[in-house]
Chain A
Amino acid sequence: MADKKAGKARYSRAGIPKCPSGIRGLDEITGGGLPRGRPTLVAGSAGCGKTLFAMEFLVRGALEQGEPGVFVAFEENALDLAQNVASLGFDLADLAARKKLLVDYVSIERNEIQETGEYDLEGLFIRLGHAIDSIGAKRVVLDTIESLFAGLSNEAILRSELRRLFRWLKEKGVTAVITAERGVNTITRHGLEEYVADCVIMLDHRVTEQISTRRARVVKYRGTRHETNEFPFLIGDHGIFLVPVTSMGLDYEVSTTRISTGIPRLDTMLGGKGYYRGSSVLVTGTPGTGKTSVASTFADAACRRGERCLYIAFEEGREQIFRNMRSIGIDLGGWAAKGLLRVHAGRSTVVGLETHILTMHRLSDEFKPKVVVIDPISNLTEVGNQVDVKAMLSRLIDHFKSNGVTTFFSSLVSGGAPEESSGVGISSLMDTWLQLEDIEKSGEHNRGLFILKSRGMAHSNQIREFLLTDRGIDLLDVPVSSGEVLMGSTRVAMERRGMEEDRQGRVEIDRKKRMFELKRREKVARVDSIETGFLAEAEDFKEYLRTETNRQEAARKTRSALGRARKADPVRAGGNAKKPASSRGRR
């Protein structure tokens, strides 16, 4: 009843009510699960995982949704079935004991059976009805009902009975999964799609270059919008895993938060703050340019911030990466021990491309990292062509971006123009692209780093010399001398020369300073001596004045004494005795 209510509540918006399958990824591409209370047809060739699909649907329903299920097995008996799915961690015996699951093995041996006259399949209905009622099942699987066609020869009866069966299942209100073999030109060999028309899911198992990939596709789903693409899926340790593609597209939220690259100078080059959180970063480089070191430094920086980091390595083993990175002062092993870092290492050629992508999805779903490093993605082209790799990577990047996970990819390139040789042609998917270059000059190879692009931030356009030291990565300014970039020993020589020039310059300044000081002192000394001379002159002059004044005074006294003696007119003060008094009278 609760189910019906829930279904009705969603009726107006989501169309038909859905029944979560519990299969990871499937509920996303079907918009919530299989049609509740209706049969779903799962078609596929032998070995593509139909039975597992169906069983997982029941087990997840029983464990996660509290919906008991009935598995009607036409091909395998209950014991075989239990053994086969035990590897996925499904304990059928336990579920059966708790009345969560009931397996009914229906066997039809044609050589045991003689058909005489009219019959119907009421026996099957009764069995199924009894099984459903005995545990209150909400889910039913019929695997593979087409076996009936092999066991019974009267196809007319069979078809009408199947039609009745599917109608009956709907009336029962159970969500059913009916598996069927794939036909040559039809979805199923016996045309079951005629009867089960609400939802059809096709499973496929293809082998390309010796590597097999399973894929699933929702062929039809009445009354609901669904994804129509083929989605690869894995049968892993925990059941089926489809690539979850909920947010396929570019409508994810973006972050303005910036995170450090782990290399302070590189942060500076990237507008002073580093990468955007949730962006995709690509570092390309020819062999031996230090891609793994840049990747590890970034992983290390993430762990230092206390964020979980997933490191997927295709070239080196876990311990080898730890050892090698220790040589540049990065202790990834320590982070792994603390549970902040998970390294998944494996050769890319072991499994198919889709399987790799799925593995990454699964790992990231389980580990929930904030940073994912894939080193290097170029190896994926060994197991898929460029178009495939690009398509899969764009899905992967979209998936991570929509979850705010920062992705860091390294890619091996073979030299030449980076645009053409970025390996998988994924540059358009990348927000930040660092290029590491091996620069050969003056008989030595040096590493250079520059930012090819970095969306949404001001970034440096300069090449930096990239050094691996025992304390990590160091970026150095690259001096340019007469239009040429100097690196390595030429840079050192250049720097030496520069230092020498600097030193000489400093010596010259000192000398000039001293000279100037001497000049100043000399000036002072000369000023002193002039001053002294002047004072002496002044003294002389005063003396002269004084003497002269005295002399004149003495002379005047003498003249006046003579005048008195001669009864002369008194000499007026001022000495102007020559002018007669009469001349004044004229006025």
Chain B
Amino acid sequence: MSLGTGKTRKGTAARKKAAGRTQTETEFELRLYVAGQTSRSLAAFANLKKICEEHLAGRYRIEVIDLIKNPQLAQGDQILAIPTLVRKLPEPIKKIIGDLSDTLRVLVGLDIRPAS
């Protein structure tokens, strides 16, 4: 598997599940900032994909930005750490840094699950 360059992805399975839900129709717009295809970046993307499929099926978009190719994009979202996941929508903006290996913390960070 390789990282795309800023494509929107929606899982097909997720779309079916989402159709049955009514409570949260909020679209999640996520950006994953990486620097080259390092093992950490790949792990982060895989972890993110998995979490999204499980919890946000059908209502999320992931944009992967490789800062090595587009270094000027780091400033806009105030990226320091790699990898960084930015939740652009819904507002407010949230950032999760790291390889996203701790699913629970990712869910808390994305406000999918309350922090309790």
Residues of chain A touching chain B, judged by Cβ–Cβ distance below 8 Å, are: 104, 106-108, 112-124, 126-127, 129-130, 148, 151-152
Which 7 A-B residue pairs are closest in the complex by CB-CB distance?
A114-B109, A130-B71, A117-B98, A117-B101, A122-B82, A123-B79, A117-B99
Given contacts A123-B67, A126-B71, contact A118 B99 (CB under 8 A): yes
Q: How far, in whole Å, are A122 and B79 apart by their CA atoms in the complex?
A: 9
7 extra A-B contacts, CB within 8 A, seeds A115-B96, A119-B82, A123-B79: A116-B96, A116-B106, A117-B100, A118-B101, A120-B81, A122-B67, A152-B97
Interchain nearest-CB distance for A286 vs B (Å): 68
- Taking a contact as CB atoms under 8 Å apart, the answer to whether B97 and A119 are in contact is yes
Of A108, A117, A130, the contact of B74 (CB 8 Å cutoff): A130
Of B78, B99, B105, the contact of A107 (CB 8 Å cutoff): B78
Given contacts A114-B95, A152-B81, contact A104 B75 (CB under 8 A): yes
Given contacts A126-B74, A129-B71, A148-B80, contact A118 B95 (CB under 8 A): no
Interchain nearest-CB distance for B116 vs A (Å): 15
Interchain nearest-CB distance for A185 vs B (Å): 29
Interchain nearest-CB distance for A41 vs B (Å): 20
Given contacts A119-B81, A122-B67, contact A114 B35 (CB under 8 A): no
Q: How far, in whole Å, are A419 and B98 apart by their CA atoms in the complex?
A: 73
Interchain nearest-CB distance for B79 vs A (Å): 4
Interchain nearest-CB distance for B66 vs A (Å): 10
Of A112, A114, A121, the contact of B105 (CB 8 Å cutoff): A114
- Closest residue of A by beta carbon distance from B104: A116
- Taking a contact as CB atoms under 8 Å apart, the answer to whether B67 and A108 are in contact is no
- Asked if B72 is at the interface of the complex by the 8 Å CB criterion, the answer is yes
- Closest residue of A by beta carbon distance from B66: A126
Interchain nearest-CB distance for B75 vs A (Å): 6
- Taking a contact as CB atoms under 8 Å apart, the answer to whether B35 and A112 are in contact is no
- Closest residue of B by beta carbon distance from A152: B81
Given contacts A116-B109, A117-B102, contact A106 B97 (CB under 8 A): no
Given contacts A112-B95, A114-B106, A123-B35, contact A106 B78 (CB under 8 A): yes
- Taking a contact as CB atoms under 8 Å apart, the answer to whether A112 and B93 are in contact is yes
* Chain B residues positioned under 8 Å from A112 (CB to CB): 92-95
* Chain B residues positioned under 8 Å from A152 (CB to CB): 80-81, 97
- Taking a contact as CB atoms under 8 Å apart, the answer to whether A115 and B98 are in contact is yes
Q: List 5 A-B contacts (CB under 8 A).
A: A116-B99, A116-B109, A117-B98, A122-B35, A126-B67
- Asked if B19 is at the interface of the complex by the 8 Å CB criterion, the answer is no
Residues of chain B touching chain A, judged by Cβ–Cβ distance below 8 Å, are: 33, 35, 40, 67-68, 71-72, 74-75, 78-84, 92-102, 105-106, 108-109
- Closest residue of B by beta carbon distance from A134: B72
Q: How far, in whole Å, are A122 and B82 apart by their CA atoms in the complex?
A: 6
* Chain A residues positioned under 8 Å from B33 (CB to CB): 123
Given contacts A117-B101, A117-B102, A148-B80, contact A123 B74 (CB under 8 A): yes
* Chain B residues positioned under 8 Å from A107 (CB to CB): 78
Q: Is the interface of B mostly helix, strand, loop or mixed?
A: loop
- Taking a contact as CB atoms under 8 Å apart, the answer to whether A114 and B71 are in contact is no
Interchain nearest-CB distance for B33 vs A (Å): 6
Interface-central residue, A104, A116, A118, A129, by most chain B CB under 10 Å: A116
Given contacts A116-B105, A116-B106, contact A121 B80 (CB under 8 A): yes
Of A106, A114, A118, the contact of B80 (CB 8 Å cutoff): A106
- Taking a contact as CB atoms under 8 Å apart, the answer to whether B97 and A114 are in contact is yes
Interchain nearest-CB distance for B90 vs A (Å): 14
- Taking a contact as CB atoms under 8 Å apart, the answer to whether B83 and A119 are in contact is yes
* Chain A residues positioned under 8 Å from B35 (CB to CB): 122-123, 126
- Taking a contact as CB atoms under 8 Å apart, the answer to whether B79 and A127 are in contact is yes
- Closest residue of A by beta carbon distance from B92: A112
Q: How far, in whole Å, are A116 and B109 apart by their CA atoms in the complex?
A: 9
Interchain nearest-CB distance for A81 vs B (Å): 15
- Taking a contact as CB atoms under 8 Å apart, the answer to whether B74 and A113 are in contact is no
* Chain B residues positioned under 8 Å from A115 (CB to CB): 96-98, 105
- Closest residue of A by beta carbon distance from B81: A119
Interchain nearest-CB distance for A169 vs B (Å): 16
- Closest residue of B by beta carbon distance from A74: B80
Given contacts A114-B94, A115-B97, contact A123 B81 (CB under 8 A): yes
* Chain B residues positioned under 8 Å from A121 (CB to CB): 80-82
- Taking a contact as CB atoms under 8 Å apart, the answer to whether A114 and B40 are in contact is no
Of B92, B93, B98, the contact of A119 (CB 8 Å cutoff): B98
- Taking a contact as CB atoms under 8 Å apart, the answer to whether B40 and A119 are in contact is yes
Q: How far, in whole Å, are A117 and B93 apart by their CA atoms in the complex?
A: 20
Given contacts A122-B35, A130-B71, contact A114 B108 (CB under 8 A): yes
Interchain nearest-CB distance for B69 vs A (Å): 10
Of B98, B105, B106, the contact of A118 (CB 8 Å cutoff): B98
Q: How far, in whole Å, are A487 and B4 apart by their CA atoms in the complex?
A: 104
* Chain A residues positioned under 8 Å from B84 (CB to CB): 119, 123
Q: How far, in whole Å, are A106 and B35 apart by their CA atoms in the complex?
A: 18
* Chain A residues positioned under 8 Å from B97 (CB to CB): 113-116, 119, 152
- Taking a contact as CB atoms under 8 Å apart, the answer to whether B109 and A108 are in contact is no
Q: How far, in whole Å, are A123 and B71 apart by their CA atoms in the complex?
A: 8
* Chain A residues positioned under 8 Å from B108 (CB to CB): 114
Q: How far, in whole Å, are A130 and B75 apart by their CA atoms in the complex?
A: 10
Interchain nearest-CB distance for B29 vs A (Å): 16
* Chain A residues positioned under 8 Å from B79 (CB to CB): 123, 127
- Taking a contact as CB atoms under 8 Å apart, the answer to whether B82 and A116 are in contact is no
- Taking a contact as CB atoms under 8 Å apart, the answer to whether A119 and B99 are in contact is yes
Interface-central residue, B72, B74, B96, B105, by most chain A CB under 10 Å: B74
Q: How far, in whole Å, are A127 and B73 apart by their CA atoms in the complex?
A: 9
Interchain nearest-CB distance for A159 vs B (Å): 14
Interchain nearest-CB distance for B60 vs A (Å): 17
* Chain B residues positioned under 8 Å from A104 (CB to CB): 75
* Chain A residues positioned under 8 Å from B106 (CB to CB): 114, 116
Of B82, B93, B102, the contact of A123 (CB 8 Å cutoff): B82
- Closest residue of A by beta carbon distance from B44: A117
Q: How far, in whole Å, are A107 and B79 apart by their CA atoms in the complex?
A: 9
* Chain A residues positioned under 8 Å from B68 (CB to CB): 126
- Closest residue of B by beta carbon distance from A158: B81
